[in-house]
Amino acid sequence: MNAKTMEGLVGARTNMNLLNTPMRVYKEARLKGDTETMERSMGYVNEFSGKAEEYKSEADKGMEEDARQAREKAKLQREEAIQKRREEREKLEERTGENRNADSNADIRETKACILEISEEGKALLKDNADSDSTGTDEIKVDAVITNNS
């Protein structure tokens, strides 16, 4: 909290509390009919309320400064977070690029090594099954031969 804000809040509260005494004196003087004491106590009331207003305006200025500083701090934090995310993304892209280059050769070798060949019997069974008008859910088991052409 800003020093102006603290000073303003404390000053306004103090002057409002000090205002109670001359108001009590004013009420007592009014009951007695003492106009001179009433006028004097109202002068004090006006003085304290004026000071309270001054302190209130000072507290308002302090709160505006606090809000401005908080906005600036939040803006800096957002910018730092954005910069950090950019750096992390760049590092991740670099690692991903390196991994792609390293893994691309390995992927090519693996895909060339795995070839599935369907036997003639399997082709015949598939053709027979496609030609028939069966609507059942019969499963056809086919033996597959896997060869590695390295």
pLDDT in tens, 5-52: 888 889 999 988 888 999 999 999 999 999 999 999 999 999 999 999
DSSP state of 33: T
pLDDT in tens, 107-123: 555 555 566 678 888 88
Per-residue pLDDT, 110 = 53
Q: Quick check: 79 pLDDT over 60?
A: yes
Per-residue pLDDT, 97 = 81
DSSP state of 132: S
CA–CA dist 84, 62 (Å, integer)? 33
Q: What is the pTM of this model?
A: 0.49
CA–CA dist 2, 66 (Å, integer)? 6
Beta bridge partners of 145: 117
Per-residue pLDDT, 4 = 83
- Share above pLDDT 70 across residues of the chain, in percent, rounded to a whole number: 77
Query: How many other C-beta atoms lie within 10 A of the C-beta of residue 26?
Result: 19
